[in-house]
Structure 1
């Protein structure tokens, strides 16, 4: 696929980053801060969801995803592959098996590449962000490994992790809104990860994700689905030597950080791309909208 700068619109973007993956998740600003050309860009899903969390909105993909053409989970995955977002066969297989429609609110278009509000000032990220995080963590989601999903929300990514690590591994979701934990369990029970939930290799818990889930540490992979002002030390402590964490860090301006714990216990951190996520905060602050 060839992309020229002139064919790309990144919402709220103050700079161009040449590598394709840098276009995946530019920071999104509220509607009055972003500029677009209405004659070029139109989406039938034109509402605040696109400004919520973990989006990349560049022109060709947004134009492609708009409307109701994508009505099957497999078609969603195939189009993410076509646009170069998914390059891993394993990630494609897992995302095909875990139907996104089971994890989004009723009445919303499940396969459009946009985040969606799920209540309690929380969101489910856009499909391309799920694919990006799965690929960044793929080597640490091998059968038998342990994965932690902080801010597990609807349970979608936790279910994907569970399929990847298999029945001999462990996939743990942590979410501080009890109602979301209850609904995520129901979502998973309808998915192909249901047997793993029943057997106990997949579980979702009510808790403050900033503290991780020490009962099942250490983890080969940790994913954080909300932006922290800085990387929480408990999550670093619970990362296994040789493990990897993917976490958005920042306030107004956020970067998706890839945190590797080396075998000697030292930490290396790099920025993957710019993103916009809801904040990783306390339950009360989240419910108040802070």
Structure 2
């Protein structure tokens, strides 16, 4: 598949929908306009690529709804060259948006099927995270901590303590917390022991699971 003028037009329409839904960060909107979401789906589902909805990608996982990707990215407040840890590579779409925002991304995937797929797919797409890791997202990635930001793209029944521990002072953790439905939650690290917590309403994610490889 190619990225055509028609696709770019559809991304512009999608970006307008996200603005209407309350996405205000212009850098996030520009990233959504630039990342060709249709290339992250099987070609037979191309018509679904620029609708604002999640879509199955195999291994019981989904490509997140564009609004959710934009909302989480906005909460993360990515600055140029920020070091970001992504928990749940999935399709790689959120990874690509973070890279478009100027982040240096470490991304962890627990499903070997998706990890292997992305190992081939990322180079073809020119997606260059600092490192893609097959592993348990609950543990984070202490080898490269502390991080400017951590984004979790699956529903966590609890907030994993290693993720909080791996934030820089001033760093931001964006994580959907809950079992059936999740509450989008932001933690900002204020000091070694102090975290500021904010909640941003209900979302629906696939579950974040441990030790499934």
TM class by shorter-chain length? 0.7 to 0.9
Q: Tell me the residue number matched to 2:113.
A: 179
Question: For 1:152, which of 89, 114, 139 is the aligned residue?
Answer: 89
Listed as ranges, the gaps of 5+ residues in structure 2 are 1-7
How far the C-alpha of 1:235 sits from its partner, in A, is: 0.5
How far the C-alpha of 1:71 sits from its partner, in A, is: 6.9
Question: For 2:203, which of 254, 264, 275 is the aligned residue?
Answer: 275
Listed as ranges, the gaps of 5+ residues in structure 1 are 1-69
Runs of 4+ in 1 over 6 A off after TM superposition: none
SS in 2 for 1:86: coil
Q: Tell me the residue number matched to 1:161.
A: 98
The yes-or-no answer on 1:80 pairing with 2:18 is: yes
Query: Scaled by the length of structure 1, what TM-score is found?
Result: 0.65
Q: Tell me the residue number matched to 1:137.
A: 76
Say which structure is richer in strand: 2
- Say how many residue pairs are matched: 205
Q: Tell me the residue number matched to 2:3.
A: none
Distance 1:272 1:73 in 2: 25
Distance 2:34 2:143 in 1: 29
Query: Scaled by the length of structure 2, what TM-score is found?
Result: 0.88
1:1-290 paired onto structure 2 within 5 Å:
72-81=10-19, 83-108=20-45, 109-138=48-77, 141-166=78-103, 170-191=104-125, 194=126, 197=128, 202-282=130-210, 284=212
Distance 1:202 1:159 in 2: 12
**CA distance 1:283–1:153, change in 2 (3 Å):** farther
**CA distance 1:283–1:107, change in 2 (3 Å):** farther
How far the C-alpha of 1:79 sits from its partner, in A, is: 2.6
Cα contact 1:222–1:246 (8 A) shared by 2: yes
Give the alignment's Cα RMSD to 1 decimal: 2.2
Q: Deviations over 1:1-45 (max 9, x none)?
A: xxxxxxxxxxxxxxxxxxxxxxxxxxxxxxxxxxxxxxxxxxxxx
